[in-house]
């Protein structure tokens, strides 16, 4: 049963409670079930209000709001992306989100979404990989071994069967961290000295780098026929990872074209360049992979419906666990028309000091 608000009380899932909730369910089970919610919502794509994320850009990074709604629920996420934060010991991405009732506007759930975004990004990547990766794929190159890398690996194993990883990062400490974490999870791992070495023998290539710049993490000569590229790091204007020539050789799949053309790898291409929307593949309206020699590219930027799905999954699974706090977030006057009177009654009761 979904969590229901009690008058002015809104359930809140903190970082600590989110971690406990994920571990209680199990990381891979959580990713599989979350992917099922995402796929379910993508299959009803036309029912949603959709808009590119609302972004405020600065030299240091970006702060964004990501809203969407169907006829019953409204959800949004606040998220930032500040690649240089790690120099100060800070996360590059932090987030929180809210799920509300369309009927009355009352929040139904409020949650941290730094961990939840990492999980939903990985779940979406692996869900796309289920449709787009070559049959029998077992080896993935992970280029960029930061905060998202382990989640990607866990999701691809749970959903597509990937069990071998080839790791590369310009920071050897990041690769060491990633290898340590994922070796403990049972993966076969090779740490590589270059990106060129990492892609050798991999059927799936995931790029998840953080720098806000036009980068060339993969060049055309590195990409052989039949691979699936999961491009996660290019997710804002002026930030890419792939050489343009790779794009023109690939069948490109995106979440929401009006947003991806601004933020994704395809910002390098003409505005009318043909792409396939992922929801159409899930719904059987468009083909996914077409043969073992085709290069497929998921130009992943993250879209609000994925966050909506994550909040909806969290609402449905947290209800009976106790892994939430109760926030006194909403004003609840005795008379809905007398909000000012509530202040006066609080003053009279001594809970608010007189001026």
| Catalytic positions | 235
CA–centroid distance for 34 within its chain:
11
Geometric angle at alpha carbon 154, from 151 and 159, rounded to 5°: 120
Q: How many angstroms separate the CA atoms of 8 and 6, rounded?
A: 6
Q: How many other CB atoms are found less than 10 A from the CB of residue 147? A: 19
Sign of the torsion angle spanned by Cα atoms 323, 327, 330, 334: positive
Separation between Cα atoms, residue 212 and residue 61, nearest integer Å: 8
Q: What CA–CA distance (Å, rounded) separates 68 from 75?
A: 6
The burial class, CB within 10 Å (0-12 / 13-18 / 19+), for 270 is exposed
How far is CA 6 from each of CA 101, 316, 338, rounded to the nearest angstrom?
13, 16, 20
Beta strands 228-231 and 251-254: pairing type? unpaired
Q: How far apart are CA 18 and CA 317, in angstroms?
A: 11
């Amino acid at each position: 049963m979904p969590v229901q608000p009690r008058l002015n009380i809104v359930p809140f899932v903190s970082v600590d409670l989110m971690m406990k909730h994920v571990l209680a369910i199990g990381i891979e089970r959580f990713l599989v079930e979350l992917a099922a919610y995402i796929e379910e919502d993508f299959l009803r794509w036309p029912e949603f209000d959709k808009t590119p994320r609302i972004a405020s850009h600065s030299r240091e990074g970006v702060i964004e709001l990501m809203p969407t709604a169907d006829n019953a629920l409204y959800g949004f996420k606040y998220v930032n992306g500040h690649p240089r934060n790690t120099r100060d010991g800070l996360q590059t991405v932090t987030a929180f989100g809210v799920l509300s009732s369309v009927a009355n506007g009352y929040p139904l759930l409020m949650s941290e979404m730094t961990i939840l975004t990492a999980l939903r990004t990985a779940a979406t990547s692996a869900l796309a990989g289920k449709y787009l990766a070559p049959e029998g794929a077992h080896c993935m190159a992970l280029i960029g071994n930061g905060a998202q890398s382990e989640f990607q690996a866990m999701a691809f194993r749970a959903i597509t069967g990937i069990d071998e990883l080839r790791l590369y990062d310009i920071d050897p400490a990041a690769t060491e961290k990633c290898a340590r974490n994922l070796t403990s999870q049972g993966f076969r791992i090779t740490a590589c000295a270059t990106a060129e070495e990492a892609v050798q023998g991999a059927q799936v290539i995931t790029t998840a780098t953080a720098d806000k710049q036009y980068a060339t993490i993969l060049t055309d000569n590195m990409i052989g026929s039949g691979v699936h590229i999961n491009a996660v790091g290019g997710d804002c204007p002026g930030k890419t990872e792939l050489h343009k020539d790779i794009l023109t050789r690939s069948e490109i799949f995106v979440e929401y074209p009006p947003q991806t053309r601004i933020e994704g790898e395809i910002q390098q291409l003409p505005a009318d360049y043909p792409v396939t929307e992922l929801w159409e593949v899930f719904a059987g309206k468009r083909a996914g992979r077409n043969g073992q020699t085709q290069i497929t590219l998921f130009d992943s930027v993250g879209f609000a419906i994925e966050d909506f799905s994550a909040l909806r999954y969290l609402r449905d699974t947290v209800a009976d666990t106790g892994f939430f706090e109760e926030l006194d977030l909403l004003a609840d006057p005795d008379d809905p028309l007398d909000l000012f009177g509530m202040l006066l009654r609080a003053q009279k009761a001594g809970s608010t000091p007189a001026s």
